[in-house]
């Protein structure tokens, strides 16, 4: 019996939030890279939760106030440990990260 190897999924995140000026966008990208987190594009500041779990995040994203952000919901629900995420910074440099927690 052959064992199957599950390959990681590769996710691309668009780091161009609408209405965000280039200096603010660069600060966001730098912060994500330096602090090892992923910004998926919704405004968490709109919730009063201090520590959002995956389940709470999905519920928040599905709320009427946010008009259903389907891509962010899919990302939150379907990412697994070992999945890869890539972004492009303002200089055109590609950055690849791995979901590790």
Q: Is the pLDDT of residue 44 over 80?
A: no
Question: What is the strand order of the sheet 84-88 is part of?
Answer: 10-12, 84-88, 94-98
Helices (H), the chain: 22-35, 54-62, 70-78
Higher confidence at residue 10 or residue 40?
10
Rounded alpha-carbon distances, angstroms, from residue 86 to 12, 43, 55, 91: 5, 20, 24, 14
pLDDT (mean) for 81-90:
89
SS3 state of residue 92: coil
Tens of pLDDT along 47-71? 555 676 778 777 776 665 555 567 7
Q: How confident is the model at residue 96 (pLDDT cuts 50, 70, 90)?
A: very high
Between CA 60 and CA 67 the distance in angstroms is: 10
Asked whether the beta carbons of 38 and 32 are under 8 A apart, the reply is yes
């Amino acid at each position: 019996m052959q064992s199957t190897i599950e390959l990681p999924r590769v996710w691309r995140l668009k780091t161009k939030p609408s209405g965000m000026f280039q200096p603010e966008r660069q600060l966001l990208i730098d912060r994500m890279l330096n602090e090892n987190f992923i910004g998926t594009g919704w405004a968490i500041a709109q919730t009063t939760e201090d520590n959002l779990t995956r389940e709470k995040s999905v519920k928040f994203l599905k709320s009427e106030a946010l008009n259903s952000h389907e891509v962010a919901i899919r990302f939150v629900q379907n990412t697994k440990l070992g999945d890869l995420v890539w972004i492009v910074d303002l200089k055109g440099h590609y950055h690849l990260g791995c979901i590790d927690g």
